[in-house]
Amino acid sequence: MDARSIIAKLRRHDVPDAAELSWFAQGLADGGVSDAQAGAFAMAVCMGALGAEGRAALTLAMRDSGDVLSWDLDGPVIDKHSTGGVGDCVSLMLAPALAECGAYVPMISGRGLGHTGGTLDKMEAIPGVTTQVGQERLADIVGNVGAAIVGATAQIAPADKRLYAIRDVTATVESLDLITASILSKKLAASPDALVLDVKVGSGAFMKTPDEARALATALADTANAAGCRTSAVITDMNQPLARSLGNALEVAEVMRALTSGEVSLLSELSSALGGVLLKDAGLSASVEKGTAKVAEIIRDGRAADRFGRMIASVGGPVQFVENWDRFLPEANVIQEVTARESGYVAAIDGEALGLAVVALGGGRQVESDEIDPAVGLSGVVRLGTKVSKGEPLAVIHASREDAARRAEAALRQAITLGDTAPDVPPLIHERIGA
């Protein structure tokens, strides 16, 4: 076998067989496939379709390109993944809450991709935190703390780690097959007993329409269940940022306010709903509704905050982070409010445009070598359907320089549309595809 023949097969819209995909995945992992060939492969897959059988074969090939973890614990191992949105910091809230419910959560996460933020980048906005830990250390953290949010090591789905970075800079992010294989190769390598997949739909998601989101949710759930992991997919709304902040440290601050104040928000509501699905699928709750209520209570009464603090300390963060989080998080040099130039209802929000504005501020990567500024981003973003008067704030920009803030303001004004009438605000949860 060789990479050129496999790429040529894809170009002809023929699906490589399982052996060919396994060979290519190993080449991604061990360097036998060049960056140029990896990019051509990603583009060929993006321009065609692997189908259910080919998608499953690529997923398992990428999973098996490295180690597959095993566990010896006194409770179920469960996990969650989001397909990517803006202001989506659910993982930071949900992982500790699930650990408080008696589950074990080895959450192997990723970095920012395209216009969406990355969970690892958010974690690393906390001083001292390192998300790269070895397998023995991961097992120790999960066994003692109950939850860990870490990156894939060189031994976990190495084929995906290589392809993930290449997709980000070759405009091949938005492929159902590549998204499915990327997400599940890492998730299945962690050997969870149950998995919930948060599939975003709307202006801030990769999947813009309900049909696209349903196709991805079905592909993910079917592939994971076929691999022996009890999996549900939940289609959730991303026509506006989930949290009112976008940017790494700003989203951590949003999580900490929710965990320490007990206030109900879209962020806590979705975290509870996803947790309820997981607890039911893992046998820790008699129903989704009871599981949702349990997670909501744990978030509200501070138990999730305490567990979050233990989780952060276990990966090098400050021991007193929960008590003093606002002192530890970095702040931007320029903080500038953007106000409405006219009165009206917030009729539409272009979430992708907001995400790209944060990337342009330095809160994400445009090439692999870019360093992220954890302090930049947007906060206080208005909610869809809100009535604002002239002069009232639409959002607050956090930038490193005044010229960057001016560019972000222009992007922000383009992204937020005001109208004369209140729009119909979509529901937070559209649909659940059961295990």
pLDDT of residue 365: 79
Is the pLDDT at 11 greater than 90, yes or no? yes
Average pLDDT over residues 169-176: 84
Largest CA distance in the chain: 65
Adjacent-strand bridge partners of 77: 104
Contact 86, 242 (CB under 8 A): yes
Q: How far apart are CA 279 and CA 288, in angstroms?
A: 7
Which CATH number among 3.40.1030.10, 3.40.50.620, 3.20.20.70, 3.40.50.2300 corresponds to the domain 78-324?
3.40.1030.10
Q: How far apart are CA 112 and CA 366, in angstroms?
A: 10
- Closest alpha carbon to 308 in 243, 260, 271, 244: 260
What is the C-alpha radius of gyration for the chain, rounded to an integer number of angstroms?
A: 21
Residue-wise pLDDT for 319-340, tens only, equals: 999 999 999 999 999 999 999 9
Give the alpha-carbon dihedral of 185, 188, 190, 196, to 10 degrees.
110
Contact 113, 168 (CB under 8 A): yes
pLDDT of residue 238: 96
Residue-wise pLDDT for 260-318, tens only, equals: 998 899 999 999 999 999 999 999 999 999 999 999 999 999 999 999 999 999 999 99
Contact 92, 257 (CB under 8 A): no
Other CB atoms closer than 10 Å to residue 24's CB: what's the count? Answer: 28
Would you call 299 helix, strand, or coil by DSSP? helix
Is the pLDDT at 175 greater than 90, yes or no? no
pTM summary value: 0.90
How far from 3 is each of 24, 54, 153, 247, CA to CA, in Å? 7, 17, 25, 38
158-169 helix and 35-47 helix, angle to the nearest 10 degrees: 70
Residue-wise pLDDT for 340-393, tens only, equals: 999 999 999 999 999 999 999 999 877 666 789 999 999 999 999 999 999 999
Would you call 121 helix, strand, or coil by DSSP? helix
CATH class of 334-419: alpha beta
- Kindly state the tokens that stand for 65: 């390109």
Residue-wise pLDDT for 120-172, tens only, equals: 999 999 999 999 999 999 999 999 999 999 988 888 899 998 998 898 788 88
What is the band of 179 on the pLDDT scale with cuts at 50, 70, 90?
A: confident
Residues of the chain with CATH 3.90.1170.30: 334-419
- Kindly state the tokens that stand for 195: 């998995």
- Kindly state the tokens that stand for 404: 């960057």
Give the alpha-carbon dihedral of 108, 381, 362, 401, to 10 degrees.
-150
pLDDT of residue 206: 81
Q: Which residues are catalytic?
A: 79-82, 119, 167, 182, 186-187
- Kindly state the tokens that stand for 373: 């500024």
Q: How far apart are CA 222 and CA 27, in angstroms?
A: 26
Which CATH number among 3.40.50.150, 3.30.930.10, 1.20.970.10, 1.25.40.10 corresponds to the domain 3-64?
1.20.970.10
Q: Which amino acid is at 82?
A: S
pLDDT of residue 165: 82
pLDDT of residue 228: 87
- Closest alpha carbon to 221 in 152, 292, 288, 277: 277
The end-to-end CA distance of the chain, in Å, is 37
pLDDT of residue 284: 97
Alpha helices, DSSP H, located in 83-153: 90-100, 119-123, 135-145
Is the pLDDT at 227 greater than 90, yes or no? no
pLDDT of residue 83: 87
Q: How far apart are CA 88 and CA 184, in angstroms?
A: 19
Question: DSSP string covering 300-357, please?
Answer: HTTHHHHHHHHHHHHTT--TTHHHHHHHHS---SEEEEEE-SS-EEEEEE-HHHHHHH
Q: How far apart are CA 371 and CA 430, in angstroms?
A: 36
- Kindly state the tokens that stand for 325: 């989080």
Average pLDDT, the chain: 94
Q: How far apart are CA 218 and CA 235, in angstroms?
A: 10
What is the band of 435 on the pLDDT scale with cuts at 50, 70, 90?
A: low
The rounded percent of the chain whose pLDDT value lies above 90 is 84
Residue-wise pLDDT for 48-90, tens only, equals: 889 889 999 999 999 999 999 999 999 999 999 998 889 999 9
Residues of the chain with CATH 3.40.1030.10: 78-324
Strand (E) positions, 33-111? 78-82, 105-109
Residues of the chain with CATH 1.20.970.10: 3-64
Give every CB contact of residue 418 below 8 A, 6+ residues apart in sequence. Answer: 340, 342, 343, 344, 345, 346, 347, 388
Would you call 69 helix, strand, or coil by DSSP? coil
- Kindly state the tokens that stand for 326: 């606002």
Contact 363, 111 (CB under 8 A): no
pLDDT of residue 111: 81
CA angle at residue 176 from 255 to 383, to 5 degrees?
Answer: 35
Residue 233 parent element (H or E): strand 230-237
Contact 340, 392 (CB under 8 A): yes
pLDDT of residue 95: 98
78-82 vs 334-339, strand pairing mode: unpaired
